[in-house]
Amino acid sequence: ARASGDRGSEATAAMAASTAARLRLASLGALCCATLAGAGSGDCRHPLFTTHWAGKSDIIHLPSEPSMQYDLSLCPMYNGREACCNTAFEAEQNIAFDRWVAHFKLVKENLHNFQMEMEALKVSRAYVEVSFIEKALFDKAFASFNPVLDRFGTCFDTLLEFVAGVLCFACDPQWRGKVVLDDQGLSAIALRVHDSQNDDLWGSCRQFGAVADDLVARIVDSSLVKSVQSRFEDLRPFASRIGVAQYMADNSLVPMRPPAEQVLRVEPEEGVFQEEGSRRLQATSSGAEMLLFPVRDGRASAFECSIFPRMALPSGAAKALGGPAARSLWIVLSSLVAGSVAVATALEPP
């Protein structure tokens, strides 16, 4: 009887354990379904825009949940779909973008001021008293400014397009797969950007980067330049494709730029770049739908990104046209010239 009772107790315990296991699996399944449902609809607790989360009363904030949008002006690619930004939040996006425009204008202004102070130094006693070699080094550094100031426009406009694309990222409720979070899952430490966007950045900044790299080298060579008091901007990030990519990767983490002018960190702390870079490289294999295209989105937005003067195409670019494009251009120019000659002939006195 005792053995029979023991077997009954064991069977009851086994049944209870089995029931508990099934309940745990059911609970886990419900949790997974709820998580997937949340992932499907997304959310608006974007870590890049924490200062504008719902619940703050002193500023215009993002809604707590995505909703259908039809009248967005700045980021029209989010019309006709559920999005986190709305027409009211566009005022905040405009403010942030204007601060970025002011920031890059200040970079250009600082370079110009440095050049002007060097020009004044050329007629000073200090310049007269230095050696011939030092004069030559100083003159070479001074002459290196104009190519930089001539070529920064296309690059800086593309940087603004990148910024505009990140500002439009505030609208995306599916942000989770496109952001690398810290170990606590609270703050963004990197964005998953498609590598084609870094190609776009470098394509626009390559010429500027070459002359900027030359300028930095000339400035370092001259001892007399060290007496200039104006701020010299750090142009080293523009010397390489990876430098420009890292520069904008850092800047993209603070899209809602604060009002006070700050020198943003350009170079990551030791060890951080490799870790974050490897995460970005891993992200590129997860599918284009889970990556960001800031330059593309910035160009599709209504932010005014054509701010700075751009150089005309170099003479080699005309050859690059070639084929039908060149022939079409020649036909148009020939027609204009022929029309001008005809008008001139008709106006000649008999």
What percent of the chain clears pLDDT 90, i.e. is strictly above it? Answer: 57
Alpha carbons 62 and 92: distance in angstroms, whole number? 10
pLDDT in tens, 293-307: 999 999 999 999 999
Residue 168: per-residue pLDDT: 97
Run of H or E including 67: strand 67-69
10 Å Cβ neighbour count for 242?
14
First to last CA, the chain: 138
- For residue 139, with 0-12 CB atoms within 10 Å meaning exposed, 13-18 middle and 19 or more buried, which class applies? middle
- For residue 121, with 0-12 CB atoms within 10 Å meaning exposed, 13-18 middle and 19 or more buried, which class applies? middle
Look up residue 311 and give its DSSP letter: P
Run of H or E including 68: strand 67-69
CB 29 within 8 A of CB 45: no
Residue 151 half-sphere exposure, CB side, CA atoms within 13 Å?
A: 21
Residue 286: per-residue pLDDT: 47
The residue among 194 and 332 whose pLDDT is bigger is 194
In sequence order, what DSSP letters do the residues of 69-123 get, joined into one string? Answer: ES--SS-GGGTTEEES--TTTHHHHHHHHHHHHHHHHHHHHHHHHHHHHHHHHTT
In sequence order, what DSSP letters do the residues of 33-56 get, joined into one string? Answer: HHHHHHHHH--S--GGGGGG-TT-
pLDDT in tens, 207-222: 999 999 999 999 999 9
Residue among 175, 177, 173, 192 at smallest CA distance from 81: 173
Per-residue b or e along 184-195, where b marks 16 or more CB atoms closer than 10 Å to that residue's CB:
eeeebbbbbbbe
- Specify the pTM: 0.72
pLDDT level of residue 258 (50, 70, 90 thresholds): confident
Per-residue pLDDT at 31 exceeds 50: no
10 Å Cβ neighbour count for 150?
14
pLDDT level of residue 123 (50, 70, 90 thresholds): very high
Average pLDDT value for residue range 277-302: 71
Per-residue pLDDT at 14 exceeds 50: yes
Residue 257: per-residue pLDDT: 86
Report which listed range, 21-35, 42-56, 94-108, is most confident: 94-108
pLDDT in tens, 104-114: 999 999 999 99
Per-residue pLDDT at 102 exceeds 70: yes
In sequence order, what DSSP letters do the residues of 153-218 get, joined into one string? Answer: HHHHHHHHHHHHHHHHGGG-TT-GGGEEE-TTSSSEEEE-B-HHHHHHHHHHHHHHHHHHHHHHHH
